Amino acid sequence: MKIIVAGGDGFCGWPTALYLSKQGHDVAIIDNMVRRKIDNELHSNSITPIATLEERVAKWKELTGNEIRTYDGDLTHYDFLREVLKQEMPDAFVHFAEQRSAPYSMIDREHAVYTQENNVSGTLNVLYGIKEFVPDCHLIKLGTMGEYGTPNIPIEEGYIEIEHKGRKDVLPFPKQPGSFYHLSKVHDSHNITFACKIWGIRATDLNQGVVYGLDTDETQMDPVLTNRLDYDDVFGTALNRFIIPVCNRP
Ligand SMILES: NC(=O)c1ccc[n+]([C@@H]2O[C@H](COP(=O)([O-])OP(=O)(O)OC[C@H]3O[C@@H](n4cnc5c(N)ncnc54)[C@H](O)[C@@H]3O)[C@@H](O)[C@H]2O)c1
């Protein structure tokens, strides 16, 4: 399949791009490198040294012969996204390209607005792009477990059957997000559901829990392919901060 991995320079996107390429898929990455710029803003960095995206894909080609094309650009710029979609005509679009830190979104008004504009507009552009240029393309979108909050009842897979005043319906499970970042994901989920309903787009919205770990079979093939690992108080998740450096890297 032809697959675009948006956010393919990031923690989840880079190993995913390598994995899909290794399986024989034809992979292209979109990334605007904003995560590396945020490292500078926060005076932080990945605890593992990470090569540039150009160095990474060149090493991958040298080792496997597989080319991963890269597009340096922003999903919130529709002119850019439209050209990439027309050029690639993907069968699947794996969408990791969002601001993904709850603490970052809560720093102040500016960071909250940036997070919601970046995430909601980017995903809306992807939905329109699929509708206009590749209506059969399957969207795989990373949402978050945090969309649900922590209700006192078991969380159902997306929907819940409710009986109210003698009538029954199957409704989306209530969302109780705990930050402006998590709210951006809820807005995305609504937009994706609506786009599927009105345009017949195919989408999988994964309400993913924390992803932990560092290495995959592919990233271990060479130090240049090493994945990023955030350990700071804004982007480092507790699992990655306290467990992985101890377990994974003696
Ligand atoms: N890491 C986790 O534990 C986890 C858990 C649940 C969900 N997710 C979701 O998975 C996705 C990826 O998370 P991650 O940990 O890999 O984050 P990350 O910050 O490491 O990677 C995101 C990548 O997307 C890029 N990006 C951001 N906005 C962009 C835009 N507008 N246009 C183009 N590129 C853009 C960044 O430069 C970065 O390389 C996010 O949507 C996140 O919310 C992650």
Ligand 1 centroid to residue 73 C-alpha, Å = 14
pLDDT of 86 above 60 = yes
CA 226/CA 115 separation, integer angstroms: 27
pTM: 0.96
pLDDT of 7 above 90 = yes
Structure tokens at 201: 């787009």
Tokens 């597989």 locate to 66
Structure tokens at 220: 């271990």
Q: In the 3-class helix/strand/coil scheme, how is 83-132 assigned residue by residue?
A: HHHHHHCCCEEEECCCCCCHHHHCCCHHHHHHHHHHHHHHHHHHHHHHHH
pLDDT of residue 180: 98
Instruction: Please give the span between the terminal C-alpha atoms of the chain, in angstroms, as a whole number.
Output: 38
Ligand 1 centroid to residue 66 C-alpha, Å = 24
Could you tell me the pLDDT band of residue 238, with boundaries at 50, 70 and 90? confident
Could you tell me the pLDDT band of residue 80, with boundaries at 50, 70 and 90? very high
Could you tell me the pLDDT band of residue 250, with boundaries at 50, 70 and 90? very low
CA 14/CA 222 separation, integer angstroms: 14
Residue nearest to atom 15 of ligand 1 (CA): 11
Amino acid in position 42: L
The domain 2-247 is placed in CATH, from the list 3.30.70.790, 3.40.50.720, 3.40.190.10, 3.10.580.10, at 3.40.50.720
Known catalytic residues? 144, 181, 185
Contact, 38 vs 239, CB < 8 A?
A: no
SS3 label, residue 200: coil
pLDDT of residue 187: 98
Domain ranges of the chain: 2-247
Find, among 89, 17, 97, 1, the residue nearest to 53 by Cα: 17
Which ligand 1 atom sits closest to the C-alpha of 122?
31
Ligand 1 centroid to residue 158 C-alpha, Å = 22
pLDDT of 18 above 70 = yes
CA 40/CA 143 separation, integer angstroms: 26
SS3 label, residue 72: strand
**Residue 32 backbone dihedrals phi, psi, to 5 degrees:** -100, 10
Could you tell me the pLDDT band of residue 240, with boundaries at 50, 70 and 90? confident
Tokens 């409710």 locate to 162
**Ligand 1, pocket residues at CB < 6 Å:** 7, 9-13, 30-35, 74-76, 96-100, 118, 122, 142, 144, 208, 210-211, 237
CA 116/CA 135 separation, integer angstroms: 26
SS3 label, residue 201: coil
Q: Is 38 exposed, middle or buried (0-12, 13-18, 19+ CB in 10 A)?
A: middle
